[in-house]
Structure 1
Amino acid sequence: MGEFEVITEQSELEALAQTLLDEPIIAVDTEADSFYHYFDKTCLVQIATAKHAWLVDPLALGGPAELAPLAPVFASPEVCKIFHAGEYDLFVLKRDCGFTFANLFDTMISAQLLGYPAIGLAALIEHHFGIHLPKDEQRSDWSRRPLTDRQLEYAVSDVLYLIRLTEKLRKELRKAGRQEWAEAEVENLIRREWPEREFDRLGYLRIKGARSLDPVPLAVLRELFLVRDARAREIDRPPFKVLANRALLDIAQSQPADAERLGRIKGVTDLIVRRMGSDILKAVSKGVAKPHGPIPKTNTTPRRRMDRRAEKRLAKLKTWRGVRAKDLSLDPGVLCPNAALETIACGNPKDNDQLKELAGLKPWLVESFGGEILETLAGGLGDSGSGSDRSETTAEPKPAGRGRSKSRR
């Protein structure tokens, strides 16, 4: 494992930030503690250049807000920041530190667009370099101090090889004509904003088996859900570590009347009975006294209703996607997710301008494959059955409008 420094002082962090501003490319990762705390936070930031690595400890510095000296690095268009599956990293860094981002590269997104069958970091590092990354600290508690040597080695390994991996993936993207696809995907990630987390009072309806309960046990489940969340907030633990969903369902269905009966339920330990037994039994009584009414609608996006013509268009589009994804060695969902296909089928665009106006479509999809999509809707490519006779004619994506053709991988 390569050498690294642990940053625990503000002066060290400020010096590091100045060093990083002079680098053309750096690798970044984060570790948080959502598996162990209700109010999760950034617990470690790993950074590497081509020659050295640092582990920045925000907890030793006084909290994630003290990472402020790194803000110019993440915002700099002159420094390329490499992440692997960076969506969560950007989420916590925006939330905890208020950082803005420019000039990113995501190795997982790139691997997806190149059609790799395994896109995890460990799989990619093993494939390209024959190196086995440690996996035994994936569920580690990153909020505990001091961090163990195994935790430190695991953390630094996440960034040590990212620059070398990026060099290889960039060459493959250029060769396949997909570099612009990767850039567009990362730009979408940079622009993404996450709403502040709010407690979902209807979250109990998302517990598996909840919607099949009768009104009384469903009302009990609702009250138990609220009690569990209150306790989780109080002790700063994830709700599932306070009381498992399965135990909530069993309590809701059996409706114990006393602590002895409560303690017989699987998953309800003596400690839970001592600390939460009274509140749980009160929740049961409250639910029994006031059965649940009609189940409210949750904020889920309903599947579009389609007429027969739209369903036929969707079937044609799925046929086109399956053939095209195979041609390009891509997962069909990476090429065009089902939701995007449904949008196209319902919108039934007649030209490139109408296609661009449809919400949720990736710009690179429209640019590179818009012509094929429109031809499929018009009754062309989608009628080719299995598509086995199209291997020669579809090797290059057809551009929409002024888009240029992209070469195959």
Structure 2
Amino acid sequence: MNDKTSAQSSARELDGEGAPGVADTPMAVLDRPRDGAPTVVDTPEALAASVAALAGGTGAVAVDTERAQGFRYSSKAYLLQFRRTGSGTHIIDPIAFEDASGVPQLQELQEAIVDATWIIHAASQDLPCLVEAGLVPRTIFDTELAGRLLGLDRVGLGAMIERYFGLRLLKEHSAADWSRRPLPDEWVNYAALDVELLVELCETMTGELETAGKLGWAMQEFDHLVEHCTDPVKPRPERWRRTHGMHQVRTPIGLAVVRELWSVRDELASRLDKAPGRLVQDSAVSELAARAATTRPPHVPSKEELRQVNGFKRRTAKQYENNWVAALERVSAMSRAQLPSARVPTDGPPPPRSWERRHPEAFARWNRVRPATQEMAEKLSMAPENLIAPDALKRITFEPPSPLESQALDARLAELQVRPWQRELLVPLLQDLLAD
């Protein structure tokens, strides 16, 4: 029995119904794990049993996490899911094993699975919180990234389960508050389903990658993720500029209003461990700043004007009204030199759209390089960003190595973390296109 037939049979057995044909009947729903919903592991005894079971399993281990984004300031994992052939599915509550500093003590779990390949869907999202929990892989297989390399139109886990197994995966709890305790049974069921077919999915996609001649490329991508998963997170400069609705704010005073309100909200959110939007939404901050910035001359909003914005009328926002007003008062006391610049600071080249006037040679190179890389990516059945990261393409185009020799070009691309398989394709293409 192949993977697809096995998965469909499992779903039918759970539903207690006959076998519908995938092509001519409604798609079967994968709504319960084949072994039944597991019990959440939250005691030392239960953890020891799960560790022993996972250690005794064979082959790769499916791994997933659940966070509480949109509810908590922290991006840590509030649930860990594992499945391995011969061991079943294990749902572990890392919060139950935190020490006094808030770090889960899961060393035995790490030792039990570290030698196995970890199958993760969208590893770049899960690896940071896994590492934070002390769980660091040696090898991984990222099913989402594999899908991107294969040129799939839809790379969400649900879409892939439909594509490869003819089953619809329930996703109604993806945005739930996973910090809630105790977890409802239906949430635990949902969490288990996220790893239910990952092992089979990995096996199927490995075959497709090999047939497409892309398995070696995928392995390089996966190794790159593992190599850098423990790198310190680089703080983004002036994160407040990413506030939703910033396009409405065009004056230095308005920008200062956003910056100060964002900063005080972020400080409060961190201290309370609440998602910033739970205190006051981005749209309210931008609306207040935009309102004040449209006056002539622009002015700092007053408490009365703040109270006119719907977002600041919410109960939680009103609870911290004194903090918002204090932020506005700080803006009022600023000199012109203390107001933020309209230009976004960057440690790299400016946006290519600005090159035509100030950097015409770079602009000419960009108009040669970008279409050519897009065409190559299309021929390889992948998105351009999977052939080369947009920032790397921008940097190499803006300032190519001199002299423009293949070895120097390869070395510079390597510095920009362009993988060997990408460089092998790109160096011959770019060498001619980057020449002025």
Read off the aligned partner of 1:126 and give its amino acid letter. E
Contact 1:218 1:291 in 2 (8 A): no
Report the more deviating stretch, 40-49 or 54-63: 54-63
Of 260, 268, 286, 1:231 maps to 268
After TM superposition, the structure 1 = structure 2 runs for residues 86-165 of structure 1, keeping only pairs within 5 Å, are: 86-97=123-134, 99-165=135-201
Tell me how far apart the structure 1 counterparts of residues 182 and 377 of structure 2 sit (CA, whole Å): 48
- In the alignment, structure 1 residue 175 sits paired with structure 2 residue 214: no
Tell me how far apart the structure 1 counterparts of residues 314 and 219 of structure 2 sit (CA, whole Å): 54
- In the alignment, structure 1 residue 221 sits paired with structure 2 residue 258: yes
Of 347, 350, 355, 2:400 maps to 347
Cα 1:367–1:57 shift into 2, 3 Å: same
Partner of residue 9, structure 1 = 43
Q: Deviations over 1:174-221 (max 9, x none)?
A: 111111111111111011134358696x43333343784434444333
Does the residue aligned with 2:407 lie in a helix, a strand or coil?
helix
Tell me how far apart the structure 2 counterparts of residues 368 and 120 of structure 1 sit (CA, whole Å): 28
Partner of residue 357, structure 1 = 411
TM-score (norm 1): 0.81
Partner of residue 388, structure 2 = 336
Cα 1:248–1:375 shift into 2, 3 Å: closer
Listed as ranges, the gaps of 5+ residues in structure 2 are: 1-31, 293-299
Partner of residue 37, structure 1 = 72
Tell me how far apart the structure 2 counterparts of residues 339 and 281 of structure 1 sit (CA, whole Å): 39
Partner of residue 287, structure 1 = 331
Count of matched residue positions in the alignment of Structure 1 and Structure 2: 374
Read off the aligned partner of 1:298 and give its amino acid letter. P
Partner of residue 85, structure 2 = 50
Q: Deviations over 1:200-248 (max 9, x none)?
A: 6x43333343784434444333332233223223322111211112222
Cα 1:250–1:112 shift into 2, 3 Å: closer
Deviation of the 1:274 alpha carbon:
4.6
- In the alignment, structure 1 residue 25 sits paired with structure 2 residue 64: no
Deviation of the 1:338 alpha carbon:
3.5
Read off the aligned partner of 2:92 and give its amino acid letter. V
Tell me how far apart the structure 2 counterparts of residues 25 and 261 of structure 1 sit (CA, whole Å): 58
Q: Deviations over 1:98-132 (max 9, x none)?
A: x3321211111111111111111111110011111
Q: Deviations over 1:265-320 (max 9, x none)?
A: 21122524652222322332332232553535634533376955544444333343
Deviation of the 1:64 alpha carbon:
4.9
Partner of residue 392, structure 1 = none
Tell me how far apart the structure 2 counterparts of residues 244 and 28 of structure 1 sit (CA, whole Å): 33
Does the residue aligned with 1:231 lie in a helix, a strand or coil?
helix
Report the more deviating stretch, 186-195 or 15-24: 15-24
Tell me how far apart the structure 1 counterparts of residues 393 and 302 of structure 2 sit (CA, whole Å): 52
Read off the aligned partner of 1:365 and give its amino acid letter. Q
Deviation of the 1:75 alpha carbon:
3.1
Deviation of the 1:86 alpha carbon:
0.8
Does the residue aligned with 1:14 lie in a helix, a strand or coil?
helix
Partner of residue 266, structure 1 = 310
Contact 1:216 1:291 in 2 (8 A): no
Tell me how far apart the structure 2 counterparts of residues 244 and 60 of structure 1 sit (CA, whole Å): 31
Contact 2:61 2:113 in 1 (8 A): no
Contact 2:154 2:160 in 1 (8 A): yes
Tell me how far apart the structure 1 counterparts of residues 317 and 374 of structure 2 sit (CA, whole Å): 54
Tell me how far apart the structure 1 counterparts of residues 390 and 326 of structure 2 sit (CA, whole Å): 45
Does the residue aligned with 1:145 lie in a helix, a strand or coil?
coil
Deviation of the 1:28 alpha carbon:
0.4
TM-score (norm 2): 0.76
Read off the aligned partner of 2:75 and give its amino acid letter. D
- In the alignment, structure 1 residue 75 sits paired with structure 2 residue 114: yes
Tell me how far apart the structure 2 counterparts of residues 94 and 169 of structure 1 sit (CA, whole Å): 26
Report the more deviating stretch, 227-236 or 295-304: 295-304
After TM superposition, the structure 1 = structure 2 runs for residues 355-394 of structure 1, keeping only pairs within 5 Å, are: 355-358=409-412, 359-360=415-416, 361-374=418-431
Does the residue aligned with 1:132 lie in a helix, a strand or coil?
strand
Contact 2:120 2:141 in 1 (8 A): yes
Tell me how far apart the structure 2 counterparts of residues 366 and 217 of structure 1 sit (CA, whole Å): 44
Tell me how far apart the structure 2 counterparts of residues 368 and 130 of structure 1 sit (CA, whole Å): 35
Read off the aligned partner of 2:372 and give its amino acid letter. W
Root mean square deviation, CA, Å: 2.9
Tell me how far apart the structure 2 counterparts of residues 339 and 203 of structure 1 sit (CA, whole Å): 18
Deviation of the 1:251 alpha carbon:
3.4
Deviation of the 1:347 alpha carbon:
2.0
Read off the aligned partner of 1:245 and give its amino acid letter. D
Partner of residue 348, structure 2 = 301
